[in-house]
Amino acid sequence: MNSVFQISDPSLESQWRAIILFGKNSATYKFAFAKSLLSLIDNNQSSLRLEEIAVPFSKNIITHLKQNDKQGSSNTSTFLNECRKYIKGQISEDQLIQATIRYGFVNVVDAFQNVNGSTIHNPFYQKDYSIHKKIVLTDNIFRLQESVQFINLNQEVDARWRLVETAWNLQLNPSLLEVKHDSLKQELFVENKAMRRINITSIREALNGYQKGKCFYSFQDIFVNKGNEKICAVDHFLPHINKMTHLNEQVNINGVWNLVLTDSKINLSKSSRVPNRRFLERLYNRNEFYIESKHPLAETIINQTGKTKLERRRFLEKQFYIALQNSIHEWEPEIELPGNF
């Protein structure tokens, strides 16, 4: 499915998002490394020594470790144990940085740019441990910084990190895992075994990367940062009327499978109308992106729409048929740029 995510789209933004959304997650070091890179390229340096990366890297890990103790799939981690010692005041900041250099980068530098068994086409850095341990930044990461979508990337990393660590720390059976949407706060949340609500992240930040930072219907650029006058809207692909029919007693129309991000003006134009049938394939692909990326939106969508690709296609077709029976007319956006998924 990552090939579908990349098809007809060799952009640097798409390659970066493939790393964040589809790369393996045996620990959350990837996210800390990503956030460190995004912050350090502002210095316009051609290379970064591990000593420099270690400062924001350890800070990011510490911040998340305080909220969720489990930051990896392994039961033990020398680096995380050093971070825990720092939180308890048992080691100094200098000792933490030295521990980060020694243990924190063991796998992440080599693995970060690897997606589905191979390195991305346009690497953002090259490893150089010949004299000093450092990475040499390529032009690609500076071109990424100049892109329209760069402003969204840091928040997308945070959202993905929150989703992964929440799933690990909940320790729920995947069949019971359900990410829910709070339409008032526009947040995603889950409930633990004690039925206590745990807020995860903003719905916009969590969904944006899977739509490549584009309006679902018009494919115009959208933005997720608060305060931006062009902040995107959250839309129900199929309207709430689907919830009313007797055919849909078990369907969660507010589920993540039915939520898409749109340009706010496009969203006002659409209102509660049913999109043209051709957008159904895009919805299917977008949902499959979630499933391929694992934890925990994947399990939520599988539980809500079907265990196999065929079941999920039939589910969407059925829901579209029900919506069309209630609406008759199909809606199309006034502006529509070429899409690539």
pTM of the model: 0.90
Q: Are residues 219 and 205 in the same domain?
A: yes
Contact 295, 267 (CB under 8 A): no
Tokens of 129: 């441990």
Residues 186 and 180: their CA atoms lie apart, in Å, by 10
- Residue 43 DSSP code: G
Residues 109 and 139: their CA atoms lie apart, in Å, by 18
Phi, psi of 124 (to 5 degrees): -90, -15
- pLDDT for 99 equals 97
Angle, vertex CA 88, rays to CA 84 and CA 92, nearest 5:
85
- Is residue 338 one of the residues assigned to a domain? no
- Is residue 341 one of the residues assigned to a domain? no
- pLDDT for 246 equals 47
Q: Are residues 65 and 207 in the same domain?
A: no
- Which amino acid is present at 211? Q
Q: Are residues 102 and 164 in the same domain?
A: no
Q: What is the mean pLDDT of each run of 10 residues along the chain (341 residues)?
A: 66 94 83 96 90 97 94 86 97 97 94 89 96 95 95 95 86 73 90 81 93 96 85 92 57 91 95 94 95 83 94 96 85 93 87
The domain tally of the chain equals 2
- Is residue 340 one of the residues assigned to a domain? no
- pLDDT for 247 equals 54
Q: Which domain covers residue 25, as residue numbers?
A: 2-145
- pLDDT for 195 equals 73
